[in-house]
Structure 1
Amino acid sequence: MRFLRQSLTGLFLLAATLAILVYAGQLVRESVEDRLAQANTAPPTRERVFTVSVVTAEPGRESPELVAFGQIQSRRNLEIRAASEGTIVELSENFEEGAEVRAGEVLVRVDPTKARYVVERISSDLLDAQAEQRDAIRTLELAKDELVAAQSQLELRQRAHARQLDLQARGVGTSSSVETAELAMAGARQSVLSNRRALAQAEARVDQAETRLERTRIALAEAETDLRDTVITADFTGTLSEVAVVKGGLVSRNERLARLIDADALEVVFRVSTPQYARLLEENGDLYQAQVTVSLDVMGSDLPTKGEITRDAAAVGDGQTGRVLYARLEQARGLKPGDFVTVRVREPALDNVVRLPAMALDAANQVLLVDQENRLESLQVELLRRQGDDVLVRGAGLAGRQVVARRTPLLGEGIAVKPVPRAGSDAVPKPPEMVALSTQERARLVAFVEGNQRMPADVKKRILTALNRPEVPAQMIERLQNRMGG
């Protein structure tokens, strides 16, 4: 019995112990669940305020710039070609690639022997033609004198015939005398006709002599021109290019020797789109004589040059679009024909436009404005031009408003923001609010900063330096107190 009683007591104590352990485990589990529930309970959140960079929309007068790419070329360039064939006997010292020559300077001289012989032979022919002309003139004068003598003799024969007729009528003369006088008059008339024929031949000979003389003079002029063509001179002051000849070389007629380029008469040719071309037209349809700035990028530095648009191409090339414009340059320092340059064209000025950063405008041509409650609102604007990193817009209700300079996907209508003037804008930022700390408060903040092991050393040094000053920024104090918990 005693063993049974002790066994039952042990069983009872074991059951009680197990019950107590189960109860304790339940209490621990409920306590952990409550703890976890309290940890997952999020504190009430505050509305997030975004800091945005803003610019003030100030309407004004802007002159947009049109950017294009073009090529430099010379308005005056000449191909130097050989006008006569032969051997080059003289070559200018400046006749080389890139050399500058003056107007009228002798560049090339071709062997003039053959041309000189031709001139001398034709000069002799000219002397013969002049002698022939003089002989024809003398013959003409003699023919005229002979005709006058024959006419005088005819007149005498006519008077003699008339006298014989008068004598016959009075019965004094005979018929044979009349016939003799009549035959003599007919012979005199025939002599006049012969002299007239000789005069006509003499006049024709004079005409032929003059024609031969004129032809000889023309041939002499051509020969002298050929002789002068053996000497090639520069028509204007310029620079030689594509030189392809040496002294002693044999050249043929019309062979290209070099190219002469006027480096002081440069222009730039560039292509613009049709809408851009339309913006450069005046109301009467004439091309606007816009000012251009041409720049050549040389290892990071530019060679700028001013110019003015003078004309546009007469036709559009096959398979091409847009328009080709020409601008005359002024004092093109450092530029050479063939250079590819950047052309900036100043378009006619636009009134009542606002210049904004390009990031302030979205794809739908909308900008974000900051209202009086520092919340964002959207405004539709008209995009007029894109100018590099800026845009020129126009819109109702935009003047004087603060515009968000850089849009992000987090910004939208109704969001609370803290506007900050954009760096470089005309708005002057407000200086930070400064607060004078008491000795106990300063010591408490310094101790917190020095005891913070997670703060970087450079940040800790900067904060301690600020805390040791007589006045400390209020924003820094507020940030430290939030981290300290009060």
Structure 2
Amino acid sequence: MSRNNMKLARAFFRRWVSDPRYASGWVLAVLLLVLAGIYATAPETVIRGASLVAPEFRIHEVELGSVTLELDSQGTARARDRLGLAFRAAGEVVEVSDNFANGAWVKQGETLVRLDPVPFELEVAQRRHDLAAARLHLEQVQANAKIARRNPSRNATDFALQVPQLKEAEARVDVAQAALRKAESDLARATMVAPFSGRLEQVQVTEGQSVTAGQPLGQLFSSDRMEVRLPVPDEWLDLLAVFGAGPGQALEVPVTLEGRFGGKERQWQGTI
């Protein structure tokens, strides 16, 4: 290198490099050179697309048709027809059937218990006497009314013409007839008969016992028709077509009842 070139280099160094005012510029230039070198030597980046995986499907052929749904529930069977047995009038028990016992089977119309009929017969006789007296009184009033109306005066009142007396006599006959019908009904009901065929339970009466009107003597239930109350979830009601049935209309939904009876597993068919 010539002497002139050396002088120029020293002057350039003193002018640009050693001057603190240009130090930051040189630092920036060096950083740019370093970054350019890194970028030039970096490996080539390969961008690959994501691989696509085809989803799996299962295809089922379906056909339109009716489907029977089975809904499980459980409940307690009870007799649909159940009747408490009692006399309408008080009296003394004079006869009890041998079949009038717990668990016994009785037929419709079979005599179960009989009360002493004498007080009821006496009541019937008394009511017949009252009716006869009422009719006699009515005939007397009718005769008096006929006479009063034959030659009535101008100022004759209804009382003078026997109008209210006639109404009272007719009402007395009506009351006597009603009392006689009640007495005859009580006499007929002094004999208790089975209103339908069935079994007895809760029997509590013996011969010679005095019973009061309405006193429970037992219960009769029919075993040919049973009723089972089954709890059903709310979401089942639409499936059972509960809302489609009209008032008093049976749904006719078949029900199979299963249970153990008499030591054997049994089934019964029913409907809702």
Normalised TM-score (structure 1): 0.39
1:146/1:108 CA distance change after superposition, 3 Å: same
1:285 offset after TM fit, Å? 7.1
Number of residue pairs matched by the alignment: 208
| Higher strand fraction (1 or 2) | 1
Alignment check: 8 A CA contact 1:143 1:198 kept:
no
2:239 alignment partner, one of 279, 286, 291: 279
Tell whether 2:169 aligns with 1:223. no
Tell whether 2:195 aligns with 1:235. yes
The code of the aligned residue for 1:292 comes to V
The code of the aligned residue for 1:291 comes to P
1:244/1:128 CA distance change after superposition, 3 Å: same
Q: In 2, distance between residues paired with 1:229 and 1:113?
A: 13
1:212 offset after TM fit, Å? 1.1
Q: In 2, distance between residues paired with 1:280 and 1:144?
A: 75
Q: In 1, distance between residues paired with 2:73 and 2:95?
A: 46
1:228-307 matches, within 5 Å, as: 228-281=188-241, 284=244, 289-298=252-261, 301-307=264-270
**1:20-65 per-position Cα deviation (integer Å, ceiling 9, x unaligned):** xxxxxxxxxxxxxxxxxxxxxxxxxxxxxxxxxxxxx997765231
Q: In 2, distance between residues paired with 1:298 and 1:122?
A: 54
1:199/1:146 CA distance change after superposition, 3 Å: farther
2:72 alignment partner, one of 67, 72, 78: 67
Structure 1 alignment gaps of length 5 or more: 1-56, 148-191, 310-486
Alignment check: 8 A CA contact 1:136 1:202 kept:
yes
1:104 offset after TM fit, Å? 2.0
1:205/1:282 CA distance change after superposition, 3 Å: closer
Q: In 1, distance between residues paired with 2:197 and 2:236?
A: 37
Alignment check: 8 A CA contact 1:104 1:234 kept:
yes
Q: In 1, distance between residues paired with 2:269 and 2:164?
A: 69
Q: CA RMSD in A?
A: 2.7
Q: In 1, distance between residues paired with 2:239 and 2:217?
A: 45
1:299/1:58 CA distance change after superposition, 3 Å: farther
1:212/1:91 CA distance change after superposition, 3 Å: same
Q: Which residue of 1 aligns with 2:100?
A: 95
Structure 2 alignment gaps of length 5 or more: 1-59
Q: What percent of counterpart residues are identical? A: 27
1:281 offset after TM fit, Å? 2.7
Q: Which residue of 2 aligns with 1:214?
A: 174
**1:347-386 per-position Cα deviation (integer Å, ceiling 9, x unaligned):** xxxxxxxxxxxxxxxxxxxxxxxxxxxxxxxxxxxxxxxx
**1:325-352 per-position Cα deviation (integer Å, ceiling 9, x unaligned):** xxxxxxxxxxxxxxxxxxxxxxxxxxxx
Q: Which residue of 2 aligns with 1:76?
A: 81
Q: In 1, distance between residues paired with 2:158 and 2:75?
A: 77
Alignment check: 8 A CA contact 1:129 1:209 kept:
yes
Alignment check: 8 A CA contact 1:144 1:199 kept:
no
Q: In 1, distance between residues paired with 2:71 and 2:130?
A: 68
Q: Which residue of 1 aligns with 2:111?
A: 106
The code of the aligned residue for 1:272 comes to V
Alignment check: 8 A CA contact 1:129 1:216 kept:
yes
The code of the aligned residue for 1:234 comes to A
The code of the aligned residue for 1:132 comes to H
Q: Which has the higher contact order (CA 8 A, sep 6+)?
A: 2
1:327-338 matches, within 5 Å, as: none
Alignment check: 8 A CA contact 2:149 2:161 kept:
no
1:298/1:78 CA distance change after superposition, 3 Å: closer
Tell whether 2:97 aligns with 1:136. no
SS at match of 1:134: helix
The code of the aligned residue for 1:279 comes to L
1:221 offset after TM fit, Å? 1.7
1:70/1:257 CA distance change after superposition, 3 Å: same
The code of the aligned residue for 1:119 comes to V
**1:236-294 per-position Cα deviation (integer Å, ceiling 9, x unaligned):** 12211211111221211111111111111112211122223333237847785321110
Q: Which residue of 2 aligns with 1:389?
A: none
